[in-house]
Amino acid sequence: MCGIIGYVGTRDCVPLLISGLKRMEYRGYDSSGIAIINDDKIHIYKKKGKIEELEKGLLQNPHSATIGIGHTRWATHGAPTEVNAHPHTSFSGDVAVIHNGIIENYSELKQALLLKNHTFRSDTDTEILAHLIEEFYEGDLQKAVIRALHRVEGTYGIAVLHAGEPDKIVVARKGSPLVIGIGDGEYFVASDLAAMVEYTRDVIFLEDGEVGTISREGLTHTTLEETRIDRKSTHIDFSLDQIEKGGYKHFMLKEIMEQPHTLEDTMRGRIQVDEGNIILGGLQGHLDALKKAEHILLLACGTSYHSALVGRYLIEEWARIPVQVEYASEFRYRNPLIEKNTIAFAISQSGETFDTLEAMREARKRGALCLGIVNTVGSTIARETDGGIYLHAGPEIGVASTKAFTSQVTVLTMLGVLLGRQRGMSAEEGRNILGDLRKMPDLVARILRTKDDLLDIAKTFSRASNFLYLARGPNYPVALEGALKLKEISYIHAEGYPAAEMKHGPIALIDRKMPVVFIATNDNVYAKVLTNIEEVRSREGVVIAVASEEDKGIEHLADHVLRIPDCHPMLMPLLTVIPLQLLSYYVADILGLDVDKPRNLAKSVTVE
């Protein structure tokens, strides 16, 4: 989603702002801009399209300043045009605002301001906020911002400048992440740690309903009721080289190739293979509640929803607890029943997914113990849940999630074993599962060494108009995920189905122009999947099979075979997803598309 960066200190802030905006490109955007204060005047520079366009304009008209704010916009209110790009200014031009989120009552506020002879240039809700702050300004920017925000309904992460206070940035947050970075005589603000990690690792996360004013003299941190807050900073561990491409053409390919290491990091210190046990430090205070749990609720969106579907198979199989998997965006708006002893897990790579956060809050209101499964330390879900599990997958920059999915499935596997061991799973079964889980980094590495085999298949099918992905059991969610990856980055229509459901509609689509991807691994439904393959072949469909290395018979049924090693049948999703990630990547790259920043998508969806 949109990105915010701000700086006040002694450096020339223009290159710093541009650098920060570039580090947030992966979040998705359609325009960018900066505002700086120089000679007690606010100067605005903004462009539609890539940040390079903004950078070119600044090179042609160079400016320097030691205070400024920058923004990448993903259009919500108003088309992606230069006039709608942020920053937005007030009627006089003395106030500049950048904003992530949505002002829900902007129309009502706009009408009130029109009656006071304000005129507006853009179609955005953000411009109303700039005018509202100016309306309340009486010499103290922080007080004006607070008064304005008391009138606002909706979500926001904002940074505000005023020409009359040329050494201050006022920031505030409600529902949209903001973090303040602390340097030596300088301060930063950003919506994403990646934007500032080059300059500082010491940060303060703003909570909802909090306001901060940063200047060269320091930080003033209060609530919207102006109660002073004294919060210690947090030191962030990840480094700049973790968010660089490392020689790969795209972040997505880098992150696919990192998975042997990220799986290792996700498991590190948590598995006791000899005892068949799992230790999850973030759940240690809730072991009694987990043991008494009668229902598990998994709340997620997109790729995280698919990992949750895999988790349902694992937890129900090993722990015999009913598991309900919900699209977070739908859960919030029906009148959900939360039964006694329900534990809800909010699953989100970023930890900022708005629908998942709100669904978690709704589950808590209705009596569930809420825990989190997130990748981003210090994220809102991580802070608001009662406990949880970090993925430790490192920063994921590519919009299409890859390594976060496999880390989520790994965490859910460990959670399934933990719950199973509480409920009668034998130590021997635990050892067998965890022994195979420990092999996953090596098995994934074996698949990745054959990645070039995918290239020829991708070339063959890169011009297909439609794909169908079919699987059964725990691999069915992988079929959904494989189809989603192809849609996200190649813009080819693809659908995932349980293989048996093919006969209930999709079979009508099958012809020689329709590639059908089957996941056909050695498990208890293997024979059933082979029957489904025969049904496709009889209608001249083209079959691409993900199958075991030892399965020689599949070659007589499939036109193309993607080989994976054998492992415990319930752990297969960690392997079967890898060739599907690579297939999607290669197809998109062959088509010459922007793999890391697919159109209309954002990495962290922080609005409804």
List residues with catalytic annotation: 2, 603
CA distance 101 to 174: 9
Token couple for 211: 């306001």
Task: For residue 290, give every residue at least 6 positions away whose Cβ sits within 8 Å of its Cβ, in sequence order, or none.
Answer: 283, 343, 418, 419, 422
Task: Tell me the DSSP string of 372-428.
Answer: EEESSTT-HHHHHSSSEEE-------SSS-SHHHHHHHHHHHHHHHHHHHHTT--HH
CA distance 193 to 602: 16
Among 174, 102, 165, which residue's Cα sits nearest to residue 137? 165
Q: Is 570 helix (H, G, I), strand (E, B) or coil?
A: helix
CA distance 364 to 194: 31
Dihedral angle of Cα 573, 579, 581, 585, to the nearest 10 degrees: 180
Token couple for 190: 């950003």
Task: Tell me the DSSP string of 207-269.
Answer: PTTEEEEEETTEEEEEETT--B-----EE----GGGGS-TT-SSHHHHHHHTHHHHHHHHHTT
β-strand 271-272 against 277-278: which pairing, if any?
antiparallel
Task: For residue 549, give every residue at least 6 positions away whose Cβ sits within 8 Å of its Cβ, in sequence order, or none.
Answer: 563, 564, 565, 566
β-strand 3-8 against 187-190: which pairing, if any?
antiparallel
CA distance 407 to 423: 24
Dihedral angle of Cα 152, 154, 157, 161, to the nearest 10 degrees: -20
The strand order across the sheet containing 179-182 reads 41-48, 31-38, 67-73, 3-8, 187-190, 179-182, 202-205, 234-235
CA distance 209 to 221: 11
CA distance 175 to 156: 6
CB of 433 within 8 A of CB of 317?
A: no
Does a cis peptide bond (omega within 30 degrees of 0) precede residue 87?
yes
CA 333 to chain centre: 22
Q: Is 203 helix (H, G, I), strand (E, B) or coil?
A: strand
Task: For residue 140, give every residue at least 6 positions away whose Cβ sits within 8 Å of its Cβ, in sequence order, or none.
Answer: none
Of the CA atoms within 13 Å of residue 496, those in its CB half-sphere come to: 21
